[in-house]
């Protein structure tokens, strides 16, 4: 009896450790993405970087992340999720060291590439590791905690950027602080099961999952990468669900819509630096609140319900922005030198959707060359090839000056506030829908033997879609106009709503093995949609002996 009580108490200290792994992983991810917005201006001054060199520096993070999305799946399935996270943290430490001690552009690019590889690999491994480690009742909350960590990491980077902006060589410390959450996460991992040894993982996972373990042991099937496209165990249907979610997450234009956050804030009367602060910190607070709501509802209302509600609200709000922009003239958009999307890498799991290049309150710029501002948001020039994608340098960094626009006409005030409300709804909808739930569903629907490769494969398409949307954004505005671009995104969100309704299953309250059984019994993903409810799912529970 005493042994049983001790065994029942084991999950209590382990669940906080799982939560810390998820939260600290997201914190590192968000901090690394956003830190460049404050570091780029002093780097430009210290190294006399040209526009092309700044593009290379910002884009190097993307290149490293793309590489991780291509090879990370094989690393996770070969060496295990825990080892992948620990290895990514070592790479991150090496990248932070390279950045902190860099004396040339080459070392800066190498350091940012290493950081991009590390956070991309860690983001995938964290979502999968936590989803496999905990039971059905905690899985949604703990995986969604990663999204909350991303937003907090972005806000933390803004605060540190502001605090260190005037310090000598402050950018070195900005990059160096990224190692702190990675080290804390590594310490937490030391007390959690490895997961690579089947026997050890089998024994350790049972208490955390409340008696429901995944299919481990002898006789489990083996999958090749090509099985993702075959009918075997309905792998083709699972891949349809995974690819559909990541593509619609990007094709709704969420990263690009937020390019106009600062413009919309200025239109309702917040001028100059205050618009940048509200667009970053204000939207960040909204996102944190929406993510907390998602964490509270994901295991109650379910994944499907949050995706449907979020996508519907995104369709309504972005369409509302399009209709408002018909009546109210807005800035035609940032130029290639002031692209607010530049330091965002929303193609990674748990993307926060913040306008990451919009910095905290602008500080005086003391080292401007030839008396000209470093960034100009008033240019309407056509961007160079590659402008507008995540590799382009950025948005207004510290020291940005916004052109002073005349006060809006009284009859436009209501429409301006309507646009602001639509923006807030859009940000919130993404944050409790596509933001956290896409990666939660991806971490649940594939068999454990191929989960890492499948997750990374879908993540690669997410990166590709993000790149396509970003590259086509300014050209699309030039062709059909800003209003029709927003309305096109709204139409895409409606199509995404239909896809979720027809194809995406409800997985709340089920163990990973039960979700796997559910997919195996269904030949087509279509039957997994509206015909099923969480209460109506029929499955046989997998019995696992604690002594085996």
Instruction: Please write down the HEC assignment for all residues of 469-505.
Output: HHHHHHHHHHHHCHHHHHHHHHHHHHHHHHHHHHHCC
CA-to-CA distance for 4 and 12, rounded, in angstroms?
A: 14
pLDDT of residue 77: 87
Measured between alpha carbons, how far apart are the two ends of the chain, in Å?
A: 20
pLDDT of residue 449: 85
Ranges 66-75, 188-197, 235-244: which has the least confidence: 188-197
pLDDT of residue 356: 37
Question: In the structure, what pLDDT confidence band is assigned to residue 51 with cuts at 50, 70 and 90?
Answer: confident
Quick count: other Cβ atoms within 10 Å of Cβ 224?
11
Residue 176 Cα distances to 56, 99, 102, 173, 456, angstroms:
20, 8, 11, 5, 28
pLDDT of residue 185: 94
Ranges 203-207, 432-436, 458-462, 516-520: which has the least confidence: 203-207
Question: In the structure, what pLDDT confidence band is assigned to residue 26 with cuts at 50, 70 and 90?
Answer: very high
For residues 192 and 24, the answer to whether their CB atoms sit within 8 Å is: no
For residues 37 and 357, the answer to whether their CB atoms sit within 8 Å is: yes
For residues 420 and 263, the answer to whether their CB atoms sit within 8 Å is: no
Average pLDDT over residues 223-234: 83
For residues 350 and 148, the answer to whether their CB atoms sit within 8 Å is: no
User: How much of the chain, in percent, has pLDDT values that exceed 90?
Assistant: 27
For residues 486 and 325, the answer to whether their CB atoms sit within 8 Å is: yes
Average pLDDT over residues 481-499: 92
pLDDT of residue 118: 95
- DSSP secondary structure, 131-195, as one string: HHHS-HHHHHHHHHHHHHHHHHHHHHHHHHHHHHTTSTTHHHHHHHTTHHHHHHHHHHHTTS--S
User: How much of the chain, in percent, has pLDDT values that exceed 70?
Assistant: 68
pLDDT of residue 40: 82
Question: In the structure, what pLDDT confidence band is assigned to residue 492 with cuts at 50, 70 and 90?
Answer: very high
**pTM confidence score:** 0.72
pLDDT of residue 121: 94
CA-to-CA distance for 5 and 459, rounded, in angstroms?
A: 42
pLDDT of residue 240: 93
Alpha carbon of residue 228 to chain centroid:
24
CA torsion sign for 345, 346, 350, 352 is positive
Helix then strand count (H, E) for the chain reads: 20, 0
Quick count: other Cβ atoms within 10 Å of Cβ 237?
22
334-355 pLDDT, tens digit per residue, is 444 444 333 344 444 444 444 4
CA-to-CA distance for 35 and 166, rounded, in angstroms?
A: 15
For residues 294 and 508, the answer to whether their CB atoms sit within 8 Å is: no
CA-to-CA distance for 319 and 375, rounded, in angstroms?
A: 30
pLDDT reading at 146 higher than 50: yes
152-181 pLDDT, tens digit per residue, is 898 888 888 888 877 888 899 999 999 999
> Residue 243 is encoded by which pair of tokens?
């690819």
pLDDT of residue 339: 41
CA-to-CA distance for 71 and 61, rounded, in angstroms?
A: 16
- Which range, 1-10, 235-244, 332-341, has the best average confidence (pLDDT)? 235-244
pLDDT of residue 220: 65
For residues 138 and 14, the answer to whether their CB atoms sit within 8 Å is: no
Question: In the structure, what pLDDT confidence band is assigned to residue 59 with cuts at 50, 70 and 90?
Answer: confident
Instruction: Please write down the HEC assignment for all residues of 54-86.
Output: HHHHHHHHHHHHHHHHHHHHHHHHHHCHHHHHH
CA-to-CA distance for 272 and 400, rounded, in angstroms?
A: 9
Quick count: other Cβ atoms within 10 Å of Cβ 503?
19
pLDDT reading at 374 higher than 80: no
Average pLDDT over residues 443-449: 88
402-411 pLDDT, tens digit per residue, is 444 455 566 6
pLDDT of residue 197: 47
- Averaged pLDDT score across all residues of the chain: 75
Average pLDDT over residues 385-393: 36
- Which range, 131-145, 246-260, 345-359, 391-405, has the best average confidence (pLDDT)? 131-145
pLDDT of residue 326: 83
The radius of gyration computed from the CA coordinates of the chain, to the nearest angstrom, equals 23
Average pLDDT over residues 173-202: 78
Question: In the structure, what pLDDT confidence band is assigned to residue 232 with cuts at 50, 70 and 90?
Answer: confident
pLDDT of residue 517: 84
Angle at 417 between CA 152 and CA 319, to 5 degrees: 80
């Amino acid at each position: 009896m005493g042994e049983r009580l001790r065994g029942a108490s084991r999950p209590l200290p382990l669940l906080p450790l799982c939560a810390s792994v998820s939260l600290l992983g997201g914190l590192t991810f968000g901090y690394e993405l956003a830190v460049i917005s404050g570091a780029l201006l002093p780097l430009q001054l210290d190294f006399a970087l040209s526009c092309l060199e700044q593009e290379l520096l910002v884009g190097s993070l993307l290149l490293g992340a793309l590489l991780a999305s291509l090879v990370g799946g094989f690393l996770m399935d070969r060496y295990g999720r825990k080892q992948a996270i620990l290895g990514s943290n070592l790479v991150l430490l090496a990248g932070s060291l390279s950045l902190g001690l860099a004396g040339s552009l080459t070392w800066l690019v190498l350091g940012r590439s290493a950081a991009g590889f590390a956070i991309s690999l860690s983001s995938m491994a964290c979502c999968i590791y936590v989803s496999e480690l905990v039971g059905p009742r905690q899985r949604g909350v703990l995986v969604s905690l990663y999204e909350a960590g991303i937003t907090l990491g972005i806000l933390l980077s803004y605060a540190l950027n502001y605090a260190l902006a005037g310090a000598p060589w402050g950018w070195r410390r900005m990059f160096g602080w990224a190692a702190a959450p990675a080290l804390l996460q590594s310490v937490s991992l030391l007390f959690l099961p490895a997961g690579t040894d089947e026997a050890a993982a089998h024994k350790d996972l049972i208490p955390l999952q409340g008696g429901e373990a995944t299919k481990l042991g002898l006789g489990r099937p083996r999958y090749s990468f090509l099985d993702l496209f075959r009918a075997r165990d309905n792998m083709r249907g699972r891949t349809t669900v995974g690819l559909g979610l990541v593509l619609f997450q990007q094709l709704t234009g969420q990263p690009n819509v937020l390019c106009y956050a600062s413009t919309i804030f200025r239109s309702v009367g917040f001028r100059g630096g205050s618009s940048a602060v509200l667009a970053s910190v204000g939207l960040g607070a909204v996102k944190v609140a929406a993510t907390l709501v998602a964490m509270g509802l994901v295991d109650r209302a379910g994944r499907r319900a949050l995706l449907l509600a979020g996508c519907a609200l995104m369709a309504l709000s972005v369409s509302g922005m399009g209709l408002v922009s018909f009546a109210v003239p807005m800035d035609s958009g940032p130029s290639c030198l002031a692209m607010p999307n530049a330091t965002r890498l929303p193609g990674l799991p748990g993307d926060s959707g913040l306008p990451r290049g919009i910095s905290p309150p602008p500080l005086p710029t003391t080292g401007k060359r030839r008396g000209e501002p470093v960034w100009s948001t008033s240019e309407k020039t056509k961007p160079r090839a590659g402008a507008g994608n995540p590799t382009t340098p950025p948005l207004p960094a510290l020291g940005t000056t916004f052109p002073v626009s005349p006060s809006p006409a009284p009859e436009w005030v209501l429409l301006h506030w309507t646009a602001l409300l639509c923006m807030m709804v859009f940000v919130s909808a993404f944050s409790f829908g596509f933001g956290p739930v896409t990666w939660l569903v991806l971490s649940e629907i594939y068999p454990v033997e191929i989960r890492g490769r499948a997750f990374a494969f879908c993540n690669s398409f997410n990166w590709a879609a993000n790149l396509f949307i970003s590259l086509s954004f300014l050209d699309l505005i030039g062709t059909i106009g800003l209003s029709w671009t927003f309305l096109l995104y709204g139409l895409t969100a409606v199509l995404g709503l239909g896809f979720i309704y027809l194809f995406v299953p409800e997985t709340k309250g089920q163990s990973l093995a039960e979700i796997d059984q559910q997919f195996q019994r269904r030949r087509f993903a279509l039957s997994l949609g509206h015909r099923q409810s969480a209460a109506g799912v029929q499955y046989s529970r997998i019995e696992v002996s604690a002594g085996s």
